Amino acid sequence: MNKNSIFIFTNDNSQKLKKILDELSMVKEYYNIHVIDDSNENKIIEDNIKLTEKNGNNTYLGKDQFKKFYYLNSDTGKFPNEHIGTKNWNLGIARNFALDYSIIANYEKILFVDDDISNITLEKLDLGFKTLTRKNFVSCSLEGRTDDSIVDNLAKQLNVLDNQLRMLSGGFLFLYPKSIVHRFYNIYNEDWILQLMEPNKKRVLLSFSVTHDELKQTLIKEDDIYFQEIGEIIVDGLFADRNALKMGVNFWNNIINSRIKYIQKLTAKADYLDKVIEKRILLNLNEWLEKLTSNILLKTFNKNRHERTIYKF
């Protein structure tokens, strides 16, 4: 059995899944390929199962497989209350499923790849898996759409430079599953948070790149910004102190206040450049942050915490 495996993450988009499965069909004889399907629409689920099986030797893992897996492999004989295949944002849960599944399957090395990634070749996969060890995370540059939050994209539009250290993208990430102590939080920035929680692992950025497909231009939804802000603030805290998750109210109040000052800086720049829409969005975000307390922040964060469960290894 091949000890190296690829996990594709997809959600309600059979067209994207077909594209990446077609691209990876050239490497399926070298690597196990699994589809982690977080879709909740029955028609799409049916289509995704057919697409997965059509390519042969691939494994489909949707919400039914999720429930069966945790029923059979947890000590309690129960699966988590939260699961993939709902209308909620479940990417952290999906990534944890892939991690746990790979450990039970005794895979040595795995690649997480989102369904909107392309330009993947056998040579790139071989180098990624060869470079990966128990002591690192491995990825490459993503060309095309930047893997940034809405606020980060607004900052770029306003020409406000961000000098913050960057983590590797979870959209194309090589991992050594049995060496990972923590689990993904089911919250925005789940990939950066996990890497910051594993500070002894090096982050290796390979010289090649893959393509992050462009999205059609859509209107900014302010609820999406607020959803992302929790993860953004947690990352700010972990950058400030690797032990941030053990810190108390005063520490997190300072992190929130620093975030407010940053948003006010962006707002002032939007006002100076007469960017009316951007200014309105940032003013509303500032008002939302002013109401955010460290207790609310940590309660929301810990609600989405997922521990490494004791399985029947």
> How many CB atoms sit inside 10 A of residue 163's CB?
4
Q: Read off the pLDDT of residues 33-52 as tens digits, 9 standing for 90 and up.
A: 999 999 999 999 999 999 99
Which CATH number covers residue 192?
A: 3.90.550.10
For 215-227, what is the mean pLDDT?
77
Q: Do 34 and 121 share a structural domain?
A: yes
Q: Do 270 and 135 share a structural domain?
A: no
Q: Do 90 and 115 share a structural domain?
A: yes
| Candidate from 29-38, 88-97, 143-152, 189-198 with smallest mean pLDDT | 143-152
For 68-93, what is the mean pLDDT?
78
Q: Read off the pLDDT of residues 151-190 as tens digits, 9 standing for 90 and up.
A: 998 998 999 977 677 899 999 999 999 999 999 999 999 9
> How many CB atoms sit inside 10 A of residue 217's CB?
5
Average pLDDT, the chain: 90
Stated pTM of the model: 0.91
Q: Do 186 and 266 share a structural domain?
A: no
Q: How many CA atoms lie within 13 A of 160 on its CB side?
A: 18
| Residue 203 to residue 289: CA distance in whole angstroms | 31
pLDDT score of 71: 79
Residue 85 tokens read as: 């295949």
Q: Do 230 and 190 share a structural domain?
A: no
Expressed as residue numbers, the domain containing 263 is: 222-303
Q: Is residue 131 a contact partner of residue 200, using CB atoms and an 8 Å limit?
A: no
Q: Do 191 and 136 share a structural domain?
A: yes
- The number of folded domains in the chain is 2
Range with top average pLDDT, 71-75, 246-250, 299-303: 246-250
